[in-house]
Structure 1
Amino acid sequence: MRMNKMLTKPSHTIALCSIANFINAADRVIMPIAIVPMADEYNWDLHGQGWVLSSFAVGYMSSQVFGGSGSKKYGGKAILLISVLLWSFSTLMVPFCAPSINLLIFSRVLLGLGEGLGLPTIFHIFAHTIPGEERSRAFGYLVACGSIGQTVASVILPHMSWPWMFYLFGFMGIFWVLAWAVLYQEARTSTEEEFIEPPKVSNTNVSWREFLCHWPLWSIYIAHFSMNWSNYIIMQWLPTYMRRTLGANQSSIMFTAVPYVMNSLVGVVAAHFADSLINKHKWTTVSVRRLMTSIGLLGPGLFILFFSAVDNLPLAVFFVSLSLGLSACNSSGHLSNHAEIAPNHAGITFAISNTLATIPGILCGPLTAELVSQSHGRWFPVFIIAAGVNFVGAIIYLSQSAASQVL
């Protein structure tokens, strides 16, 4: 039967979704790099830059639940296609909106809306089509491709005029939409969703209250929030920090690619290591998720403090690379945990998790600008808060997480 044949080829699904995440992640890096010449051209102050950077997170936070519930109702293929089309169109709009900061913020909100639909949809697709023994690798490759997208963008964009940064990846997204429409065939009946591994309990009628009443779910939500707090600071502010504080020239901004290279490499290695612990060494799934999440939160929390203590560019790049590299272990930790504790509703639980985890993206722009301004140019308060949030998230996940089905 054709439907069963399609379900036996998860690698095709992983590849297509990982390429989408490559473009997704690259689009997020464009503005932090482009905002340096754009601020000079349009005379934006630090607070104005903060609002431009954070406006993406407003849209991103607003569409998460729609992505998770929409893919469950209408299918992952249609929702992911709409998602990539919307974020690619909004990327192409930026050069035309830039002279008006209000229009620019609007285009950034649209970008967030599109990308907010995407990841919950991919989690929904993976929960249905990826076998449990391959799940860590699937999420590892997904996150690694995102880091590769950020790496490629960080290397090539500083050598381009800023409008062409947006044109390049905007058109890349349009081409992906055409490929997705032709190549991906969804396995779905008229009455129910298809799983490659049916859940032990098929509880389809779950009230929204249930998504907020279980500590194993809250441990994931809090760990995700903690991870994103430090990651958003690095993603949004690293080029500005290197240029304004460490004195890097425009070509040296390419070094912002190094942390993303480290993130992609560690993500793939950690994913295979996690699956190996489960399959070959018979570790319990919850033990593996806790180990990887601990590394993914405590390690970055420690090294971001080292990063804040140095004023030498190579050392700063080294420490921030260790921080973002170890953060990739979360893909085999709490990010993989959704499909185990809520296989029927992984898209929705991830949507809720990512909605809460987008709050740092909204706060990090204006809060960082305010902290740096009030500290007379010192960034240490920004990084000490990030480290503290990571430590708290790790403790809560270690004490409250689970791997058995909750919903």
Structure 2
Amino acid sequence: MAKLTIRAENSSFYHFPHYGNHKVSIFNSSLRPQRLNLLAQKHILKLRVSCSITERQKEEAAEKQRIVKGLKLNGEVGKNGGLISTSGDELGEAGNGDKEVGFEWGWPPWKNLPQRYKLIGTTSLAFVICNMDKVNLSVAIIPMSHQFGWNSSVAGLVQSSFFWGYALSQLPGGWLSKIFGGSRVLEVGVLVWSLATMLVPYLAGFMPALIFSRILVGIGEGVSPSAATDLIARTIPLEERSRAVSFVFGGLSFGSVTGLLLAPPLIQNYGWESVFYLFGFLGIAWFSGFQLVKEDRPWSFTEPMSWPPSFSRNKSLGELGTSLKDVPWKAFFRSKAVWAMIYTHFCGSWGHYTCLSWLPTYFSEELNLNLTEAAWVSVGPPLASILVTSIASQFADSLISKGVDTSLVRKICQTIAFLSPATCMILSSLDFGLPPWEVVTILTGGIALSSFALSGLYCTHQDISPEYASILLGITNTVGAVPGIVGVPLTGYLLDSTHSWSISLFAPSIFFYLTGTIVWLAFASSKPQSFSEGD
């Protein structure tokens, strides 16, 4: 077998002069070094060629093998432009006189990327799958309700069960991410929610088992934000953090768009079960691929951190319990900045979850759009959020790199994220006689601009304490999950009582957006804090 490897060690382009009919042999039977003046260029192109040819022959009389061992030619272009040929060692044997030539390709394409970029890319992809598995039930619930005879209350119970697991797993996810590392917790979370998603078609006929499977999906997805926050805090420097957070959490918007676009045709052509099988399989495929991207070591930082990794494979449960007690819980809740993050997260989640759940119905009933139009219009906000997210992250990182105070940058971004949807909801609530598509455009723009929060609130956890970023997000996200449990059904109750979308859907969101802005501007801070000192 012969293997040919060619590697250029100069990025310039070279011109090889034409030498007419001169014939030059690069092989010599004596195998002595020879200098061949093939190039006379100022620039140097280095080629390394290795070739081995082995031929096996049998002698009929003695019936013995005689192997003609081949040549190894190493050629290098010297400084004066000459090609040096030297003999080398034997490279091996190739049976039956076969000759093959292979090239060393730079595969996979991401092989030479910095490790932090690989982790951020795969984490964002996990978040795409995360929201695909979150929205699939919102579409599949319609044929499932018809098949199993569920009323609206039962359907609401099934959908809300996701948030039970989501809320319960926030703090444990943050603590586990600090102990074991965000990448480990993330991969386990993806595997759990993917397997639970694939079980839904088998458990749909038995309500307790179905609810339990959706709780598992919520638990798996609930640990993911804290895991991603820990991973970003430990691997991404400050001047890249806004873009990293926006890229990772922006995967949620892309996942919503992808899920809402894929689910209807899949259900129509292959049945509602297909979305759970396919989307669950994507998560398992991600888990398998992530094993090739992550490093074997539990900790791999691209920037020095001020704390040592606390994870050890030999830790006992008692030691893990002690590490949980070592978390400065009291210091967290004595910080005004932490309380500002908690309330702001609650306010943002109220607007997000209530709009995510009720806007399709609002478009259909209040604006008199048919179901197909309402479904396509519902894709607008997350689709526009993808564009806004990229703009917001570049804007924030640009200001920070120019020396603008980080706290000021976070306050600017979060203010845009809250006042924009509040203003658009006020315009939609007032009776200006606007046509439906203008109202849709206004709401889509306002909700899309709320993605500035990814460069505001969602970066602050890492800013004030990279060490405890995952736990801090677990705290704020636990409170942020409450609107999914309380706000969504409360909106329905207010709608039944008042028959007014302005009062039931928009008024509470406007209130929380405005008060959240005031609290954020008054108390939020991105200054690093050492919580351990005060506890």
- The answer to whether the superposition gives a TM-score over 0.5 is yes
8 Å CA contact 1:29, 1:235 repeated in 2: no
Aligned to 1:115: 221
**489, 498, 502: which is aligned to 1:375?**
498
**2:345 matched to 1:224?**
yes
- Report if the CA contact (8 A) 1:54-1:364 is conserved: no
Matched, 1:294 2:446: no
Match of 2:266 in 1: 160
Counterpart amino acid of residue 246 in structure 2:
G
Instruction: Work out whether residues 492 and 504 of structure 2, in 8 Å CA contact, stay in contact via their aligned partners in 1.
Output: no
Q: Partners of 2:179 and 2:387 in 1: how far apart?
A: 35
Which structure 1 segments of 5+ residues have no match? none
**Larger CA deviation: 162-171 vs 57-66:** 162-171
Aligned-partner residue type, residue 340 of structure 2: S
Task: Say whether the 8 Å CA contact 2:119–2:293 is kept in structure 1.
Answer: no
Aligned equivalent of 2:305: 198
Report the CA distance between 1:211 and its aligned residue: 1.9
Displacement after TM superposition at 1:157 (Å): 1.7
2:523 to 397, 400, 405: 400
Conserved? CA contact 2:183–2:228, under 8 Å: no
Corresponding position of 1:30: 136
Q: 1:207, 1:243 → 2: CA distance?
A: 49
- Cross-structure match for 2:156: 50
For the residues of structure 2 that align with 1:297 and 1:76, how far apart are their CA atoms? 29
Gap change, CA 1:376 and 1:46, over 3 Å in 2? farther
- 1:261 and 1:104, CA in 2 relative to 1: closer, same or farther beyond 3 A? same
Per-residue deviation, 1:93:
2.1
CA offsets 1:70-126 (integer angstroms, 9 cap, x no match): 122122232111100111112212223333444332222111111011110110111
Equivalent runs, 1:318-397 vs 2, <5 Å: 318-376=441-499, 378=501, 380-397=503-520
TM, length-normalised to structure 2 = 0.70
Letter in 2 for 1:96: Y
TM-score (structure 1 length as normaliser)? 0.90
Is the aligned partner of 1:267 residue 2:373? no
Greater relative CO (CA pairs within 8 A, separation 6+):
1
How far 1:240 moved relative to its partner?
3.5
Quick check: 1:53–1:236 contact (8 Å CA) kept in 2?
no
Q: 2:256 maps to what in 1?
A: 150
Structure 1 residue 33 displacement after superposition: 2.3
Q: 1:278-293 maps to which residues of 2 (within 5 A)?
A: 278-280=400-402, 282-293=403-414
Structure (1/2) with the larger helix percentage: 1
Secondary structure of 1:344's partner? coil
Q: Where does structure 2 lack aligned partners over 5 or more consecutive residues?
A: 1-110, 311-322
Alignment check: 8 A CA contact 1:92 1:170 kept? yes
Deviations 1:323-361 (A, max 9, x none): 221110000001101111111110100111101100001
Q: Which residue of 2 aligns with 1:254?
A: 376
Check 1:381–1:222 CA distance in 2 against 1; reply closer, same or farther (3 A cut). same
Higher-Rg structure is 2
Aligned residues: 399
TM-superposed CA distance for 1:390, in Å, is: 1.2
Q: Which amino acid aligns with 1:171?
A: F
More strand by share: 2
Which position in structure 2 is the counterpart of 1:208?
329
Alignment of 1:88-99 (within 5 A): 88-99=194-205
